[in-house]
Amino acid sequence: MKQILSFLLVTALSVAAARAADITWVTLHPAENTPSGDAAAAGFTTAPDIGYTQLLTANGHNVTRYVSTGAPDTALLNAADLVIIGRSVPSGDYQDDPETATWNGITAPMMIVNGYVTRSSRLGLASGTTLPDTTGSISLAINDPSHPVFSGIALNPDNTMANSYANIVSFNATTQRGISVINDPLAGGGQVLATVATAGDPAVGGTIIAEWQAGATLATSPADTLGGHRLAFLTGSREASGLTSHGAGIFDLTPDGTQLFLNAVSYMAIPEPSIAFLLPLGGLALLWRRRRA
pTM of the model: 0.87
First to last CA, the chain: 13
pLDDT number for residue 271: 55
CA 68 to chain centre: 15
Confidence of residue 19 (pLDDT cuts 50, 70, 90): low
CATH at residue 206: 3.40.50
- Residue 115 falls inside a structural domain: no
Q: At a CB cut-off of 8 Å and minimum separation 6, what does 21 contact?
A: 61, 62, 81, 82, 265, 269, 270, 271
Domain that holds residue 31: 20-97+138-270
- Residue 15 falls inside a structural domain: no
Q: At a CB cut-off of 8 Å and minimum separation 6, what does 56 contact?
A: 23, 25, 63, 265
| 22 pLDDT above the threshold of 80 | yes
Alpha carbon distance 179, 166 (integer Å): 9
pLDDT number for residue 112: 98
Tell me the percentage of the chain whose pLDDT exceeds 90: 85
C-alpha torsion sign, points 178, 109, 64, 66: negative
Q: Are 179 and 208 in contact (CB under 8 A)?
A: yes
The per-residue pLDDT for range 92-148, each reduced to its tens digit, is 999 999 999 999 999 999 999 999 999 999 999 999 999 999 999 999 999 999 999
Q: Residue 85 corresponds to which amino acid? A: I
- Residue 227 falls inside a structural domain: yes
Mean pLDDT of 171-189: 98
The counts of H helices and E strands in the chain are 8, 10
pLDDT number for residue 33: 98
Mean pLDDT of 141-168: 98
- Residue 75 falls inside a structural domain: yes
pLDDT number for residue 137: 98
Count of the separate structural domains present in the chain: 1
Question: How many Cβ atoms from other residues are within 10 Å of residue 167's Cβ?
Answer: 15
- Residue 216 falls inside a structural domain: yes
Secondary structure of residue 243 in the 3-state scheme: coil
CA 17 to chain centre: 18
Q: Residue 56 corresponds to which amino acid? A: L
- Residue 14 falls inside a structural domain: no
The per-residue pLDDT for range 238-270, each reduced to its tens digit, is 999 999 999 999 999 999 999 999 999 999 996
- Residue 226 falls inside a structural domain: yes
Mean pLDDT of 177-205: 98
Q: How far is CA 260 from CA 47, 149, 164, 166, in A?
A: 23, 6, 11, 11
Alpha carbon distance 102, 84 (integer Å): 15
pLDDT number for residue 237: 98
- Residue 72 falls inside a structural domain: yes
